[in-house]
Amino acid sequence: MTEVKMLREAFGKALVEYGSEYPNLVVLDADISASLKTGEFAKKFPERHFNFGVAEQNMIMSAAGLATTGLIPLACTYATFSTMRACEQIRSMICYPKLNVKIIATHGGIEVGWDGPTHQATEDIAMMRSIPNMTVVVPADATAVKPLLRQAIELDGPVYFRMGRNPVPVIYNNQQRFTLGEAIKIRKSGKVLLVAAGIMVSTALETAEMLADEGIECGILDMHTIKPLDGAALLDFTKSSDLVVTLEDHNIIGGLGGAVAEWLSENNPKPLIRIGVRDIFTESGDPKELFKKYSMDSQYAFTTITKFFN
């Protein structure tokens, strides 16, 4: 059986290590430190951890203030709360002056499941992606978290780092190299190019296996950095493709699907299918059942792609 791990647990572990390595790292929470797994960091570096309570605007704006004193604040909460409750602080007070603040979000997408649409961030990537100076990172598995987090910390400027809630399949081993802004070429290019981000990378892998059995070869790009988008990888991989399919746990408007659609229409027009949340609010439920009901599982991707070629 495939090994599954929570990204936020990997984040919590990496944080403790980076706390020693980067003495100017400060971690901010908004009453959900247990969810964000920042507890170990808080225990080890209490003078560099602050719980702001349920007051996200103050947390995000204080992060801006902290950054002006030379510290690197990581402001941690759910994706809906940071990007929506504190959107203006992120846009006008962090991104506009290009302050060195990292917005660490979990509970991105409908994979949040049971908590329902109020807690399922399905617009966050679109919002963060449209703000100048912002880098948007969506790691696909627990292995990707640590190296991408290090690069996010070392990048001088705002970063939106988006993770999910649940354990997801481990895709990468420790030898895998990760570079911000460079998509990972998981499968060689084929007739179909699957471009995926976050937990949908494992869905893309499943889909590619199913399609291979039908004789349809798929390339896969893990677009862990949605902004800046890796145009070079897209150029390389779309050469041999008749169809591009994006897979994301986010509204198909404005996120990865939107970004790839923009890139394709400007650089290399190809037929495109966007798999993701179809501009609706979903509902509470088991994530697996939600992905099936809302046409976001590998079976749906497989059927849609085979239909395209028939």
Q: Does 143 engage in binding with other proteins (CB under 8 A)?
A: no
Q: In whole angstroms, what is the distance from residue 112 CA to residue 278 CA?
A: 17
Q: How many residues bind other proteins (CB under 8 A)?
A: 28
Q: Does 89 engage in binding with other proteins (CB under 8 A)?
A: yes
| Binding residue (CB under 8 A) for other proteins from 15, 27, 93, 259 | 93
Closer of 53 and 228 to other proteins (Cβ): 53
Closer of 116 and 157 to other proteins (Cβ): 157
Q: Does 261 engage in binding with other proteins (CB under 8 A)?
A: no
Tokens of 271: 């037929």
**Strand 168-169 to strand 25-29: parallel, antiparallel, or no bridges (unpaired)?**
unpaired
E strand or H helix at 27: strand 25-29
| Binding residue (CB under 8 A) for other proteins from 67, 134, 140, 205 | 67
* Whether residue 56 lies in the annotated active site: yes
Q: Does 98 engage in binding with other proteins (CB under 8 A)?
A: yes
Q: Does 196 engage in binding with other proteins (CB under 8 A)?
A: no
Q: Which of 9, 56, 283, 289 is catalytic?
A: 56
Q: In whole angstroms, what is the distance from residue 224 CA to residue 210 CA?
A: 23
Nearest CA among 155, 165, 149, 156 for reference residue 27: 149
Distances (CA, A) of 290 to 94, 114, 285: 35, 10, 6
Closer of 73 and 276 to other proteins (Cβ): 73
| Binding residue (CB under 8 A) for other proteins from 1, 34, 70, 213 | 70
As a whole number of Å, the end-to-end CA separation of the chain is 33
Q: Does 269 engage in binding with other proteins (CB under 8 A)?
A: no
E strand or H helix at 36: helix 33-36
Q: In whole angstroms, what is the distance from residue 150 CA to residue 73 CA?
A: 13
Q: Which residues bind other proteins (CB under 8 A)?
A: 26, 47-48, 50, 52-53, 55, 57-58, 61-71, 73, 88-89, 92-93, 96-98
Catalytic residues: 56
